[in-house]
Amino acid sequence: MRIAFVTDSYHPTIDGVVTIVDIIRDSLVKLGHEVFIIAPDPGEKDRLEGVYYFPAIKYRAYEGYFLPIFPSNKIEVLEKINPDVIHVYGIAVMALKGYIAAYTLKKPYVITMTTMVTDTLEYYFPIKLPPDFVGVVEKLAWFYIRQILNHSSGVITHTQPIMDELKAHGIRPKDERIIPAGIDIGTFRPLDDPMAKRKELGIEGKRVLMHVGRISYEKHIDDIVRALARFDEDTVMVIVGDGPARKDVEAVVEELNLQKRVTFTGFVNREDLPALYNCADVCISCSRFETQGLSIMEAMACRKPVVCPNARAFSVIITDGKDGFLFDADGGVDELTEAIERALECDDSVRQNSMETARSYSEENCARMLLDLYADVIEAKRAKLEKKK
């Protein structure tokens, strides 16, 4: 099968969408399929061999992202590839370009809702929105999202709560599937010497809280820092990654005089992440808008207890007290602190259950679920075209 991935973000951008695209591409290739990636052009020095690019400019409202421009060579690129199916990751401009190309070329078109973009409007809209105007823009955004999703051949979400939320906003998919991104359980696993990384980080003998992922405002990493301040000095925090909110998080660290207890690693290559996960005592996310929460699932695959808000994807992936710990996001730092305390004191059964939950989301299982969807939408498109003859 020839599969075209059209994605809103790709290397050199580092985020969950890019990671998911790479994981699923590799999984499908291992199963004998051809996958072609079409992405916004980051400029000559950052282009990757084998990737097809649409003209783009830097997105000033969100550093590290690129915004496709009109017109572009979208039809010619996809016509040359001649895919059996076009699969879009994201909902922004590339989704619109992919839809136009699919309609013109009479190809089936599926879309994975990787990010609930309406949650990020106040942070990353091109212009600063007055508070009273955010709701208006959000309504317009949902109108656009409905048009794209309702005219697609199929809609994919990583968890059921996201599909339910889409339907609550009037989206009625022709075909709907819940398909997780998949975890590389061969890479993300318990290591023989899980504490090895602590010496390098200078945190031997400490209790280690960890956040892995893009340092962005919607992740609420500052809440974890504020929770850290409530623990004794033998508890420290490692923040793995980089992003637009880093300076503001660093400012909170300085405000609370926690410079000696918080380590910022900066960007870390994916192959180095297992060693970091393994050296943590607890991995934490405070993000309320995760559609899956890939970094949390990777931590679970490494047999780590996790702490997450009882919202969206986390509410169905994690069973509180069994394979992780959930807290009420509206309860503020108090609720978060209590959940972290429970995780630090948990027994070994939670760690074992955490790993077993993550392993149920293996890459190959998820790739085969995708292939089933592709086969169905390809057949539905063929039948529709035959009927029109």
d(CA 86, CA 110): 6
Q: Are residues 249 and 117 in the same domain?
A: no
Domain co-membership, 29 together with 146: yes
Please give the mean pLDDT across all residues of the chain. 90
Residue with tokens 């508070």: 131
157 in Cβ contact with 163 (< 8 Å): yes
Alpha helix (H) ranges present in the chain?
Answer: 16-30, 74-81, 93-105, 121-124, 131-150, 160-168, 196-201, 221-228, 246-255, 273-278, 294-301, 312-317, 332-344, 348-359, 363-388
User: Could you give the CA distance from residue 119 to residue 33 in angstroms, rounded to a whole number?
Assistant: 35
More confident residue, 93 or 291: 93
- On whether both 19 and 88 belong to a single domain, the answer is yes
Give a yes or no: residue 235 inside a domain. Answer: yes
Q: What is the pLDDT of residues 326-366, one digit of tens each?
A: 999 888 899 999 999 999 999 999 999 999 999 988 888 89
CA dist., res. 203 & res. 80, Å (int): 53
Nearest-angstrom CA–CA distance, 33 and 28: 6
| Positive or negative torsion for Cα 89, 94, 96, 102 | negative
Is there a single domain that holds both residue 100 and residue 224?
no
* Domain tally, the chain: 2
Cα dihedral 226, 227, 232, 235 sign = negative
What are the pLDDT digits (tens) for 130-189? Answer: 666 667 778 888 898 999 999 999 999 988 888 998 999 999 999 999 998 888 899 999
259 shares a domain with 353: yes
The answer on 354 and 207 residing in a single domain is yes
Domain match, 162 and 213 both:
no
Residues 200 and 94 placed together within one structural domain of the fold: no
> Rounded to an integer, what is the distance from CA 90 to the centroid of its chain?
10
Task: Say yes or no: 368 and 274 in one domain.
Answer: no
CA 322, CA 324: separation in Å to the nearest integer?
6
For residue 375, give the nearest of 31, 79, 20 by alpha carbon: 31
Considering all CA atoms of the chain, what is the largest pairwise distance in Å, rounded to the nearest integer?
A: 74
Confidence label for 121 from pLDDT (cuts 50, 70 and 90): low
Q: 351 and 368: one domain?
A: no
Q: Is residue 188 part of a domain?
A: no
Averaged pLDDT for residues 48-59:
87
Q: Which residue has the higher pLDDT, 255 or 329?
A: 255
Whether 304 is covered by a domain: the verdict is: yes
Domain region containing 379: 2-182+362-388
Q: Are 156 and 110 in contact (CB under 8 A)?
A: yes
pTM of the model: 0.80
CATH of the domain at 151: 3.40.50.2000
Q: What are phi and psi of 57, to 5 degrees?
A: -125, 160
Asked if residue 104 belongs to a domain, the reply is: yes
